[in-house]
């Protein structure tokens, strides 16, 4: 892995990106059968980043189809004996997909993670509690190793209860917590139920990933107030890598451009949300030769911004409000386009609600929503009124007993699709 470089201008950054892209193409073509077939007839090196637009897009369906057929990742460049890391996707939208990495690929992951943690000033002297049971998912394994690469102490707590993890945070004087937004909220609930003053812990920073909650203002506020700490958002995907980091105010998510090239596809008219200029994020890895993705359609919906200046170097592509939704998560309820993030933002503006679940139903020719909330303070009417004011919808909202809804350590799956043909990510119907 080449030493990290810090371009000082946009011209230098684009030159570095083009160099890394051409180095990647030279290494993977024609050895990578998947891309050799897709890109047959295209020449490289490329003269500019804009020339990449003539290359074909990659979809997850293509990768999944090949993995389902052969049992191996589709986009491998090298013989199997070169690969040391096995991970798989979460399978929230189908079967889990295997993803392999070489030792060099993992070093690339670490360069990306060091850039993420640098934004939070995580380094020697920090003690980072990585609140996950890990499993086969790349996110927390890479985060754990990224903490080590940044020179901080990494504290594992797989297999522990939430209460035990809070006690471990206290005993180790952890300064940083790493978890999904959903699990941060659950830890906060666990602490409240146990009568613990979580704000008295020495935590100064919470790094969240795995869900868009880190860029949702109401979710950030709840996490920050519960732990008395700043919140730093991070975005990544097993098949892509750790591609984004938020600012300290949670207003934008920045693409790690030295290691990723971003493009933005316009949506179809039927997918547009009133008042929003949404695009689908497309990413190309500028590294990870053992398992690269070229022009990968992430499915994430974003609002890109090219700032004129940046205090930390050249202007970088930024995403206003982070990941705003996913193409395959959009709900059309009585003619109104809604993403689960919008539901989360409204409900999380009521800290009295510990947990919730959304049901999607087909009523005649139309889709409709029902929402269950744990409501010990009898605020259901206020929550329903907020939906009416902010989304223009009357929502069937039901109160359920405290503790009756699922809690999540990994990605929260709060949308349950009861329609005859499911089209969104969901947990199994109860």
Domain for residue 427, yes or no? Answer: no
Query: What CA–CA distance (Å, rounded) separates 346 from 395?
Result: 12
Rg of the chain, C-alpha, whole Å: 22
- Listing DSSP states for 252-298 in one string gives EEEE-TTTEEEEEEEPPGGG--TT---EEEEEEESS-TTS--SSEEE
- Residues 4, 56, single domain; the answer is yes
- Residues 322, 360, single domain; the answer is no
Give the pair of three-digit tokens for residue 124: 């020697």
Domain boundary, last residue among 298, 327, 356:
327
- Residues 335, 319, single domain; the answer is no
Q: Are the C-beta atoms of residues 186 and 171 closer than 8 Å to each other? A: no
Domain for residue 26, yes or no? Answer: yes
Question: What is the per-residue pLDDT for 273?
Answer: 53
- Residues 309, 335, single domain; the answer is no
Question: What is the per-residue pLDDT for 375?
Answer: 86
Domain for residue 422, yes or no? Answer: no
- Residues 335, 315, single domain; the answer is no
Domain count, the chain: 2
Q: Are the C-beta atoms of residues 156 and 140 closer than 8 Å to each other? A: no
Domain for residue 30, yes or no? Answer: yes
* 139 closest CA partner among 58, 234, 280: 234
CATH of the domain at 388: 3.30.300.30
Who's near 401: CB < 8 A, 6+ residues apart?
374
Give the pair of three-digit tokens for residue 225: 């107030």
- Listing DSSP states for 170-232 in one string gives HHTT-SEEEE-HHHHHHHHHHHHHTT--GGGS---EEEE-SSGGGG-HHHHHHHHHHHTSEEE
Q: Are the C-beta atoms of residues 295 and 322 closer than 8 Å to each other? A: no
- Residues 106, 221, single domain; the answer is yes
CA distances from 247 to 106, 124, 151, 288, 299 (A): 25, 21, 22, 25, 22
- Residues 373, 299, single domain; the answer is no
Who's near 134: CB < 8 A, 6+ residues apart?
140, 141, 144, 156, 158
* 190 closest CA partner among 229, 159, 158, 163: 163
Give the pair of three-digit tokens for residue 17: 């990106």
Question: What is the per-residue pLDDT for 79?
Answer: 96
Domain for residue 426, yes or no? Answer: no
Q: Are the C-beta atoms of residues 191 and 226 closer than 8 Å to each other? A: yes
- Residues 262, 354, single domain; the answer is no
Domain for residue 109, yes or no? Answer: yes
Domain for residue 429, yes or no? Answer: no
Query: What CA–CA distance (Å, rounded) separates 280 from 233?
Result: 19
Element (H, E) at 346: helix 340-348
- Cβ count within 10 A of residue 334: 13
Domain boundary, last residue among 302, 327, 352:
327
CA distances from 51 to 22, 46, 183, 423 (A): 11, 6, 42, 35
Query: What CA–CA distance (Å, rounded) separates 67 from 70?
Result: 5
Helix, strand, coil shares of the chain, percent, nearest 5, are 35, 25, 40
**What residues in the chain have per-residue pLDDT under 50?**
3, 274-275, 423-430
Query: What CA–CA distance (Å, rounded) separates 77 from 335?
Result: 46
Query: What CA–CA distance (Å, rounded) separates 299 from 47?
Result: 28
CATH of the domain at 214: 3.40.50.12780
Question: What is the per-residue pLDDT for 418?
Answer: 80
- Residues 360, 405, single domain; the answer is yes
Q: Are the C-beta atoms of residues 180 and 210 closer than 8 Å to each other? A: yes
At 380-390, the pLDDT tens digits run 889 888 888 88
Q: What does pTM read for this prediction?
A: 0.83
Peptide bond into 275 cis (omega under 30): no
Domain boundary, last residue among 306, 327, 348:
327
Question: What is the per-residue pLDDT for 274?
Answer: 45
Query: What CA–CA distance (Å, rounded) separates 182 from 370?
Result: 20
Q: Are the C-beta atoms of residues 19 and 259 closer than 8 Å to each other? A: no
Domain for residue 139, yes or no? Answer: yes
Give the pair of three-digit tokens for residue 221: 């506020």
- Residues 210, 287, single domain; the answer is yes
Give the pair of three-digit tokens for residue 37: 């077939």
C-alpha torsion 197→198→204→209, nearest 10: -160
- Residues 71, 209, single domain; the answer is yes
- Residues 267, 346, single domain; the answer is no
Q: Which structural domain, as residue segments, surrounds residue 164?
A: 1-327
């Amino acid at each position: 892995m080449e030493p990290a470089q810090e371009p000082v201008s946009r011209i230098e950054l684009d030159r570095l990106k083009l160099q890394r892209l051409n180095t990647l193409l030279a290494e993977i073509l024609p050895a990578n059968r998947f891309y050799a077939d897709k890109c047959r007839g295209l020449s490289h090196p490329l003269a500019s980043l804009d020339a990449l637009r003539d290359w074909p897009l990659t979809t997850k369906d293509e990768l999944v189809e090949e993995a389902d057929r052969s049992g191996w990742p589709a986009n491998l460049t090298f013989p199997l004996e070169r690969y040391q890391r096995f991970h798989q996707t979460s399978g929230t939208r189908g079967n889990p997909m295997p993803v392999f990495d070489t030792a060099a690929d993992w070093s690339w992951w670490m360069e990306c993670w060091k850039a993420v943690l640098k934004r939070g000033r995580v380094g020697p002297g920090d003690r980072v509690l990585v609140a996950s049971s890990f499993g086969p998912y790349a996110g927390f394994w890479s985060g754990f190793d990224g903490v080590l690469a940044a020179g901080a102490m990494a504290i594992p707590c797989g297999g522990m209860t939430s209460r035990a993890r809070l006690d471990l945070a206290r005993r180790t004087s952890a300064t940083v917590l790493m978890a999904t937004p959903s699990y941060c909220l659950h830890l906060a609930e666990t602490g409240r139920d146990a009568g613990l003053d979580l704000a008295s812990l020495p935590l100064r920073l919470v790094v969240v990933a795995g869900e868009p909650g880190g860029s949702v203002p109401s979710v950030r506020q709840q996490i920050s107030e519960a732990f008395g700490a700043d919140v730093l958002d991070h975005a990544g995907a097993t098949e892509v890598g750790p591609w984004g980091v938020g600012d300290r105010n949670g207003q934008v998510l920045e693409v790690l451009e030295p290691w990723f090239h971003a493009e933005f596809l316009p949506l179809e008219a039927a997918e547009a949300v009133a008042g929003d200029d949404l695009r689908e994020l497309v990413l190309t890895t500028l590294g990870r030769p053992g398992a690269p993705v070229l022009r990968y359609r992430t499915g994430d919906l974003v609002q890109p911004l090219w700032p004129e200046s940046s205090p930390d170097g050249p202007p970088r592509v930024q995403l206003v409000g982070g990941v705003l939704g996913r193409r395959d998560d959009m709900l059309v309820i009585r003619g109104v386009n809604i993403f689960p993030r919008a539901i989360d933002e409204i409900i999380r503006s009521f800290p009295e609600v510990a947990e919730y679940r959304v049901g999607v139903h087909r009523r005649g020719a139309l889709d409709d929503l029902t929402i269950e909330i744990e409501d010990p303070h009898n605020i259901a009417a206020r929550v329903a009124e907020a939906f009416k004011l902010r989304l223009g919808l009357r929502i069937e909202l039901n109160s359920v007993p405290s503790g009756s809804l699922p809690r999540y350590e990994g990605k929260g799956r709060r949308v349950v699709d009861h329609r005859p043909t499911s089209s969104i990510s969901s947990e199994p119907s109860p």
